Structure 1
Amino acid sequence: MAKLPHIQLPNTLKERLVQGHPWVYRNHVPAQMHFPSGTWVRAQCGNWTGYGLWDANGPIAIRIFSEQQLPTPQWLREQVGSAWDLRLSLREKGCTAYRWLFGEGDGLPGLTVDLYGQFAVIQTYMEGATALQDWLIDALKATTSLQGIYLRTQHRNRESIDNKPEPKTGHKPEPKTENQAESKVELLWGKPAPTDLVVIEHGLNFQVNLQAGQKTGLFLDHRENRRFIEGLSQDRDVLNCFAYTGAFSLYALRGKARQVTSVDIGKGLAEAASTNIALNQLDSQRHTFVTQDCFNLLNSYVEQGRRFDLLILDPPSFAKSKQNRHAAQRAYTKLNALALRCVAPGGLLATASCTSQISTEAFKEAIAAAGASAGRRFQIIHEAGQPVDHPVPAQFPEGRYLKFVVGRVR
């Protein structure tokens, strides 16, 4: 085998590398270093050694995969198997859709795998991921029975994980801008999934489309938060903003909400929500879908004096880089202030952020500022981060992107 390129890193990085942080930024590697994306390299920092994949573009030059050995197909199979074992509790609960691999959280930086029934969707966040593609396909097939494996690629020059790489990272993406690449979906192995594929989440059926849609039509990281909302919904008028295909609304309906209003500006989402409601034989008479911008609708509700007993905010990420952090903080404050004015006295606000650039404490500061602006007080009764299929390594706080806060409005 050809000798691996050797890269000497500054000693200032040693502490975090020893702890297991998986990223080496481009400004920390020698300027004269240039390799094709997907090249395995050996990085050294003092007496620390790590093996990683080089990326020719973007702020992250090296993603570290192992400190013991150069990764092999068997090594990768073990990582996939370990992640599979961690999700056992979800399978025991009958959930057939979840994130099987969460990139850095499962020791495989730069890529994720979502499972929808017997179909897996690989998503990559670095050009060098192609070096692992064949190994990964074999590892997935060796772990469980699959009918098809898809690849969704979307490379961006980003400074942090946003998983809704999830997304995020991390989660619902912002409207496309010129610097955001179109995602591309292709079938790598097996047969195509049906366009009306149905998966199960805590006993509810959801139709997903693996070839189209943002996150296939189901945002997996909010699974447990949706179930929490179900327990709060009985006899309440519920407003679900940024509803997408209505997942939170379905749980509220099953939780015996008096009336549920879903709001999203996206085309075709009202029909998708109606399909999901029909799949579960829920009462469509208690549900209304409004296709409109959520900020504009909340403004109109404030002017009308319309109030809800439970309001859910699950907006897209407001910042993709550190430069947008302050603008995102202001956006969260503005949005939550509008929402607080639309909650009946003693009602509940459930508000979320999938912006990795905003910390948990900063998000709560935005809610507090929103309360001051709206003349309301917000009593936190519940906080949550990411579920078991989105693990966050202690040495990689960047992997913590999701914040979900529920409180009483006074």
Structure 2
Amino acid sequence: MAKLATVQLPANLKERLMQGHPWVYRNHVPPNLHLSSGSWVRVQCGNWKGFGLWDNQSPIAIRLFSRQEPPTPKWTREQVQSAWDLRSSLRQQNCTAYRWLFGEGDGLPGITVDLYDRFAVVQTYMESAAVLLNWLVDALQATASLEGIYLKTQHRSLEMNDRDDESANAPSDSKVKLIWGQPAPKALIVEEHGLKFQVDLHAGQKTGLFLDHRENRKYVEGLSKGRTVLNCFAYTGAFSLYALRGQASYVTSVDIGKGLAEAASTNIKLNGLDDRRHTFITQDCFTLLNDSIQQGKQFDLIILDPPSFAKTKQNRHAAQRAYSKINTLALRCLAPDGLLVSASCTSQVSPEAFKEAIAASGATTGHQIQIIHEIGQPIDHPVPAQFPEGRYLKFVVGRVRRSN
């Protein structure tokens, strides 16, 4: 490897770097520094040193990979193997779809890998990741028995660890191409906790399943018996399937996306569930909740899993207002002592800020919300202790009662 450029950083960053934070923002590097994207650099901050990857496009100028030496093929294989080992409990539970690599959380900043049965989907969040791609593909093959590896490319910059919005009505600005092995079936079947789901790896943004809610869906199943359930932003109906298996008396799924009703119906039939206890309404969720309020309709359990509402810090306050609004509408549709299941999938809103939004909704509607369950990300989306930006998923379940 050629001699690496050394990047000197301000002394006030040393504590954060020593703790292991993996990002260096562009406003912290010398303004006259010009390097090619994909250049490995030696980072110096006082007596601290590390090795990272330079990127020209992102506000994150350097992503740090190692304290010891620049990454090598062997080093990459070790990170991939470590991530594989961490998820062994999922494989023991016969879960065949999960996030194999979660970027900074698994020591490979700016890169994710999702596993769908014997097919891996690589996604990169920085231009400079191209220099790692061949090493990564070799490491994936060496670690697991795969049939194919796909690469998903984005035409917009995604800097944070928010969940990618996969709504069917969103403009498709991502492409998927096969980079190794054979193509996956158009209708690939994966399994989690005994339920089967059809996914499409060829559809760009829309694979058909959010992997980060796997354990939350299972939790909702245990709450559903005998309840009427409203699943807002239902996508392809994953929460609805668990509610049906959990013996909900009736489940209503709502999403504005085209083709999602058909996808949900396919998943229900695939699992032999009773479709007479389910309906899918293709409509904007805000509109449906407003209409339900006007019509006096109530539900025993309402699930809210909206899109992130905020991709940047500038959108944070607007996101807070949107979360308050959707939760306020849902509270007005809940039956007495009903359950509110509310999620947020953006790193721009902290767990405490999200609960504040829910509390504000309770104050607006005259409700007291008893939080009975709260959780972050599952085992396949690990968050480094020193990297709060990696914590994007919030999931809160509350019993809702009228205020005294």
Q: Same fold (TM over 0.5)?
A: yes
Q: Deviations over 1:301-360 (max 9, x none)?
A: 011110000100000001111111111001100110000001100110100001111010
Task: Please list, as runs of the form range in 1=range in 2, the aligned pairs for 1:3-402 lying within 5 A after superposition.
Answer: 3-154=3-154, 156-158=156-158, 160-164=159-163, 167=164, 172=166, 176=170, 182-212=173-203, 214-402=205-393
The Cα shift of 1:184 comes to 1.4
Q: 1:101 to 1:65 in 2, by over 3 A?
A: same
Letter paired with 2:66 = S
Q: Pick which of 341-350 and 208-217 moved more.
A: 208-217
Q: Deviations over 1:101-152 (max 9, x none)?
A: 0000001000100000000000110000100000000000000100000000
Letter paired with 2:336 = P
Q: Pick which of 202-211 and 370-379 moved more.
A: 370-379
SS at match of 2:367: coil
**Runs of 4 or more above 4 Å deviation:** 171-177
The Cα shift of 1:155 comes to 5.3
Q: Deviations over 1:75-119 (max 9, x none)?
A: 000000000000000000000000000000001000100000000
Q: 1:243 to 1:176 in 2, by over 3 A?
A: closer
The Cα shift of 1:377 comes to 1.5
The Cα shift of 1:156 comes to 3.7
1:407 corresponds in structure 2 to 398
The Cα shift of 1:255 comes to 0.2
Letter paired with 2:379 = V
Q: Pick which of 374-383 and 85-94 moved more.
A: 374-383
SS at match of 1:253: helix
Distance (Å, rounded) in 1 between the aligned partners of 2:232 and 2:204 = 18
The Cα shift of 1:6 comes to 1.1
Does the 8 A contact of 1:124 with 1:155 survive in 2? no
The Cα shift of 1:187 comes to 0.4
Distance (Å, rounded) in 2 between the aligned partners of 1:155 and 1:80 = 26
Distance (Å, rounded) in 2 between the aligned partners of 1:251 and 1:157 = 34
The Cα shift of 1:213 comes to 5.4
TM-score, L = length of structure 1 = 0.96
The Cα shift of 1:39 comes to 1.0
The Cα shift of 1:373 comes to 1.2
Q: 1:384 to 1:54 in 2, by over 3 A?
A: same
Q: Deviations over 1:47-76 (max 9, x none)?
A: 111111111112100000001111000000
Could you tell me which runs of 5 or more consecutive residues in structure 2 were left unpaired when the two chains were aligned.
none
The Cα shift of 1:157 comes to 3.8
Distance (Å, rounded) in 2 between the aligned partners of 1:335 and 1:72 = 47
Distance (Å, rounded) in 2 between the aligned partners of 1:271 and 1:207 = 11
Letter paired with 1:41 = V
Q: 1:213 to 1:247 in 2, by over 3 A?
A: farther
The Cα shift of 1:214 comes to 3.4
Q: 1:287 to 1:404 in 2, by over 3 A?
A: same
Q: 1:173 to 1:9 in 2, by over 3 A?
A: farther
Could you tell me which runs of 5 or more consecutive residues in structure 1 were left unpaired when the two chains were aligned.
none
Distance (Å, rounded) in 2 between the aligned partners of 1:114 and 1:163 = 15
Report how many aligned residue pairs link the two structures.
401
Distance (Å, rounded) in 1 between the aligned partners of 2:168 and 2:58 = 20
TM-score, L = length of structure 2 = 0.97
Distance (Å, rounded) in 2 between the aligned partners of 1:285 and 1:91 = 33
